[in-house]
């Protein structure tokens, strides 16, 4: 769950229910409000097949249709969707819902609108592993060292928790000849029992298959925040 505690009114409005969502896109640092947006859709699949899998490096995808912008949009420009919630009396701050990069754009002949296909930074991993500066032998490198090098190649930052987790094991990785960086990331993710993905904030995150947040049975509000009495959560037993 994204941390929304610092976003004005967000939890209050969602908790009260009966809210609506407003969307905007920020393309190359230029905002496009709903008056210029026809549709926006994002998609993330942690599994690559119809069965649960591990060892993936998930690429998030954004599909959008907008009014043709007047501003110039460079190649592989950054596009970030934002949402905010509102009801009859309150409007929240904006919540970022991903960081994507233009992959393809075209003008629809019928609507004269711009259609956009964009992927997040994981897409950059679809390149053959570049020339490595790591030492590769029977005892080198560790998996987390390889991930760090891939992050630098992809110009991506990972969440600190992910880096901490990777450092907890000293798996040795064989030299990834002819493998893409995503392949390498996927292979390493399999060793740890999960997959890599990009967060809504644009950071790389390792998602463990079996590390779901525990079911707490706490009494929560509509938005999932625990209700407390004097700071104590309420445990509900069925």
CB of 173 to other proteins, least distance (A): 5
CB of 128 to other proteins, least distance (A): 14
Which residue, 52 or 74, is less far from other proteins as judged by CB? 52
Which residue, 109 or 227, is less far from other proteins as judged by CB? 227
Which residue, 109 or 167, is less far from other proteins as judged by CB? 167
Which residue, 74 or 213, is less far from other proteins as judged by CB? 213
Which residue, 75 or 89, is less far from other proteins as judged by CB? 89
DSSP secondary structure code for residue 65 in this structure: E
Rounded Cα distance, 110 and 105, in Å: 15
Which residue, 74 or 185, is less far from other proteins as judged by CB? 185
Are residues 199 and 179 in contact, defined by beta-carbon separation less than 8 angstroms?
Answer: no
Are residues 42 and 60 in contact, defined by beta-carbon separation less than 8 angstroms?
Answer: yes
Closest CA to 41 of 28, 59, 23, 67: 23
CB of 238 to other proteins, least distance (A): 9
Rounded Cα distance, 142 and 146, in Å: 7
CB of 123 to other proteins, least distance (A): 16
DSSP bridge partners of 86: 20, 91
Largest CA distance in the chain: 64
CB of 19 to other proteins, least distance (A): 9
Rounded Cα distance, 151 and 14, in Å: 35
Burial of 92 (0-12, 13-18, 19+ CB in 10 A): buried
CB of 220 to other proteins, least distance (A): 8
């Amino acid at each position: 769950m994204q941390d929304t505690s610092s976003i004005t009114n967000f939890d209050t409005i969602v908790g009260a229910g009966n809210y609506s969502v407003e969307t905007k896109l920020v393309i190359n640092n230029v905002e496009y409000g709903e008056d210029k947006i026809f549709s926006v859709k994002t998609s993330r699949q942690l599994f690559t097949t119809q069965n649960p899998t591990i060892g993936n490096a998930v690429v998030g995808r954004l599909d959008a249709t907008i009014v043709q912008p007047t501003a110039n949009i460079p190649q592989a420009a950054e596009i970030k969707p934002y949402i905010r919630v509102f009801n009859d009396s309150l409007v929240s701050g904006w919540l970022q819902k991903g960081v994507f990069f233009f992959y393809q754009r075209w003008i629809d002949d019928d609507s004269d609108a711009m259609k956009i296909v964009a992927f997040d930074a994981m897409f950059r991993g679809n390149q053959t592993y570049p020339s490595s500066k790591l030492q590769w032998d029977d005892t080198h490198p560790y998996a987390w060292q390889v991930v760090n090098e891939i992050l630098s190649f992809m110009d991506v930052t990972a969440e600190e928790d992910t880096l901490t987790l990777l450092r907890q094991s000293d798996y040795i990785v064989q030299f990834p000849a002819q493998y893409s960086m995503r392949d390498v990331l996927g292979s390493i993710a399999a060793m740890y029992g999960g997959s890599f993905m990009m967060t809504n904030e644009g950071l790389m995150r390792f998602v463990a298959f079996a590390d779901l947040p525990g079911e707490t049975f706490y009494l929560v509000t509509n938005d999932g925040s625990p209700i407390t009495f004097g700071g104590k959560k309420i445990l509900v037993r069925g």
